[in-house]
Structures are given as C-alpha cells and as structure tokens.
Amino acid sequence: MLIINNVLLKLDADFSDLKPYAARALKIEASAVRSARLYRKSVDARKKNEVHFCCSLLAELNINENSVLKKAKNAQIYSPREYVWRSCGKNTENRPVIAGFGPAGMFAALTLARAGLRPLVIERGRDADTRALDVARFFAGGELDGESNVQFGEGGAGTFSDGKLNTGIKDYRCRAVLEELVRHGAPKEILTDAKPHIGTDILTGIVKSMRREIISSGGEVRFGARLDDIIIKNGALQSAVISGEELLCGRLVLATGHSARDTFSMLKKRGASLIRKSFSMGVRIEHLQNDINKALYGGFAGHPALGPADYKLAAHLENGRGVYTFCMCPGGEVINASSEAGGTAVNGMSRSRRDGANANSALLVGIEPDDLPGDDALEGCRLQEKTERSAFAAAKGAVPVSTVGSFVFGRPFCIGRVKPTVKPAYAFADFGTLFPCFVVQSLKEGILLFDKKISGFADPDAVLTAPETRSSSPVRIVRGADGQSVTVRGLYPCGEGAGYAGGIMSAAVDGMKTAEALINGL
C-alpha cells in the first residue's frame, strides 16, 4: 500500500473512482492501480475563487510498489506504518494502576489490557451517563459538583469539548487511535477528515464502549476513586492512597488531566520533580457561523460538499507575545467548564452536527515561566486559580461576557447580532480586572490583527466570554526516557496534566507510549 499526499480534487469530484488520480500522481498506467481510496481530505480555501479539496489517497498496486516508490523520489508518496498492539507474557505480582480515565488514561488502559496486564483504573469523577446528568443539571443552574463536571469524570475534559482529533504531532499511533475510536462507535469520516471531530453527543457512547473492552480484557474501572496520596520508599513507589484506602502499587500511570491541582500539590510534597512550563490564558470569541463561512469560503459558502468553516490563527506581537486561536468549535457553544467552587472557567464544545448558529474559538495569549513570580513550580496554577476566582466575583457567580465593541473599541456594552451561548447565566464584566495587563493588551491587538486575516473577526458584535484558563497544564512532571518520574521509580506521568500533551489525540498517543514504556520495563 502507498499513501499519496497533495492530490487536488474539485468540490464536485467523483470520489467513487479515485484510481485515475492515483495513477496520475504515481505516473503509472491506470490499469496498474488495483484499488485507491480516500485516506485524508482537507479544504483548501486560500483562494476564495477556487476552493477545492486537498487529499491523500491510499493506493494498492498490481505492480511492484517498492519500484514505483523509488522511481517517484517524492516525499509525498510513502508506505504507511501500521501500529501493532503489544502483548506481554509476563505476570506481574501487582497489576498496574492508572489514575485518570481521560484520553491518556483510557488508551494507556486499553494498551495494558490488550497486553494481558489487567490494569486497575481509578477515576475521581463519575461514569459517563451519571456525569452527563450532573453537567446538564449544572448548565441548567444547579450546584457545581466538584467531582463530576466538565473536567472530571469518564472521558476526561475532552468529552465536553467537541471531540476534536486534529493534532500537530506526527506519530504513526494517531491512525491507531482513530481506528479504535471508529471501532467503538465514532463515525468513519474521522479516518479521512484532516480535522476530524466526533461531537460531545457521540463521545459518551464511545468511552463507555472502550471501558467495556478494558473490563472484558481483565481490567477494572472504579469511579468515585480519587488519588489522595502516594507512599514512596527508597525512591520507589510502594502504594497509593485511593479515597482514603491504601493499595499496594508498584506501577502507577498518572493521567489525571490538567485540572487536578490537588494532585500536583500532593506530588510536590512527596518529592516528585515538577517544573513550570509555558501555558496560555484568554477568552472565547463567538461569531455567527454564517459570517465565518462567507469570510473563509467566499462564494462557495453553503456548497453541499463543505461543512461549516473553521480556522486556526496565530501571530507574534510587537511586545514579543504570541497570540493564537485554539480548539475552534464550528456551530458550537461556549460552556461553563468550572471544577472548583467560587471559580469560573470556560471552554467550547460542539455536537456532531455542528449546526449551531455561532462559531466559537479560544483566543489565547502565551504565558512563560519567567512571567510568574518566585520559583515555585505551582505558581502557574495559582495564576489560573486567581483569574478564575476574579471572574466568579466580577460576574457575581455568572459567567463574565463582553463584546469586541466594548472590550476593544471602548463602546458601551450591548448584545447585538451575536447572542452568547454560555449557560446558565452570563453578566457583563470588565475583562481588564480579570487578567494581567499584558494578557489584556495582547488580546486586543490579536483581535485587530486577526481581522486582517478573516474579515469580520473584529466585528463589534462578536461576543467574548471569560476566562479560558484550562487550555493546557502550567506544570510538567519530569519523566525520563523510560517514561518514569526522574525522582519516583514506578510513577509514570502521562498526558496533558503531566505536561506532555495538548488535546485528545496527543493525550491518547502519550497514553499508548507510556503504557509501552511500562511494558518495556517489566
């Protein structure tokens, strides 16, 4: 099999017969192509008068593929590398424990379960169905549950985002992650979309299906089980304290996510090596989806082959700061992603149909370790917490909102064409009181810069919701080449919370890699 990148196809191209396109790219006769199917598809809208698809094809030939590959001498044509799930014939006295059942913990558990190591998964939150009810109750105005919310519970924070699976990492395990998600109920389109997404409404069923496989393979999943402490002897992990009960544990995969601040504090007390890392804070910006479609697709907006348009923007400002968009949700909504009483944090999500009136995206400013006072590794967590508490107070418990007209241009606050989607309640707030001055100024400059890239980005009616503080972890739990903490043998930091991932896909891949490292160390 050969993968052929950068095959350009018109929006109305016949995808049922891709052999001619493969033959042309490989410079061979069409009869030499046994089969050709779509491997990846993205929209190229750089020129509004000729929007088209940029595709990758997976082709099987009737002739020697290695010879064709050598003749092509083209980096865009190559043989795919397939992932082989590990097996382990060794029996360990104490089965590995995984703390956290988000993407990293889930795929670590799946890898270990398929290897025959019967992992025990502990998750402080609740199962997907119960969690969905708790979140819906909170969105309707009920009380926040500190252990079952948008951040904590089966599936992790990604379950209530959009299920966006695009990533910047180049790892062959990415394909294996997509294939597993499809096997457990995700739409097959995620295998071919360059920016695949599943949707919050479908994700809950997928995570339940994956849990069932882990259990059927000898694993165990316990909900309402929080990692309280770890016991270390002579630099090695001896046991874990789980919801007050000590459990013998020689190998612990730590996949607790970026919001488990109490876990970071516990690890610091126990001598695990933690360092600061770069992270970001900012707001969510909402536009009308139709406006984004027109700005990006021009006259092709509304074409049946095109879904709602999305974007990804970045710029370096004169003050040396980076500002960028992240986790853009076409046809989505902004959600209250708080997990601690007295604090407010927001995120974005979409359902599978992406048919909401608004588009929303995080608009973030980079924060470097040197921006923080002192030398405490947890100072970034404190800044996040301070910002969230300020937001809660500024809006008197509601979610703070503003508009580009008010925030950037100094106009009186007024909701115009774009209606805020966040629930259950919002209130106007002066964002200048929520963030450090450099974040406020960078956000304003970024909005004006991005308006030059997407016409209407600085629409005065665009809604801003704050604060987006949980885009990434401000902490890294230092690990060595063997996947273990450099100060605690047997502790395997993993995923976003440990500072080694930045999204569902990269977290899932890191979970697999961490499980492989654990297996290698047996």
Segment 451-479, tens digit of pLDDT: 999 999 999 999 999 999 999 999 999 99
pLDDT at residue 93 above 80?
no
pLDDT at residue 89 above 80?
no
The structural domains of the chain, with segments of one domain joined by +, span 2-78, 97-276+475-520, 279-468
pLDDT at residue 500 above 70?
yes
Give dist(CA 518, CA 251) in Å, integer: 8
Element (H, E) at 24: helix 19-26
> What CA dihedral angle connects 247, 248, 253 and 256, to 10 degrees?
20
pLDDT at residue 136 above 70?
yes
Segment 249-305, tens digit of pLDDT: 999 999 999 999 999 999 999 999 999 999 999 999 999 999 999 999 999 999 999
Contacts with 87 (C-beta within 8 Å, 6 or more apart), sequence order: 114, 115, 116
- How much is the pLDDT for 91? 64
pTM: 0.95
Instruction: Report the half-sphere exposure of 518 (CA within 13 A, side-chain side).
Output: 31
SS3 call for 438: helix
The chain-wide mean pLDDT, for the chain, equals 94
pLDDT at residue 163 above 70?
no
Architecture label for domain 97-276+475-520: 3-Layer(bba) Sandwich (3.50)
Q: What is the pLDDT averaged over residues 232-251?
A: 96
> In 10-92, at which residue ranges do the beta strands (DSSP E only) sit?
33-44, 52-61, 77-78
pLDDT at residue 330 above 90?
yes
Element (H, E) at 403: strand 399-403
Segment 33-78, tens digit of pLDDT: 999 999 999 999 998 889 999 999 999 999 999 899 888 877 789 9
Give dist(CA 358, CA 419) in Å, integer: 8
Segment 370-418, tens digit of pLDDT: 999 999 999 999 999 999 999 999 999 999 999 999 999 999 999 999 9
What's the topology of domain 2-78?
Answer: Alpha-Beta Plaits (3.30.70)
Percentage of the chain modeled with pLDDT above 70: 99
Q: Residue 3: how many CB atoms within 10 A of its CB? A: 16
State both tokens at 155: 């599936």
Are 372 and 276 contacting, i.e. CB atoms less than 8 angstroms apart? yes
Element (H, E) at 215: helix 200-216
Q: What is the pLDDT averaged over residues 88-109?
A: 88
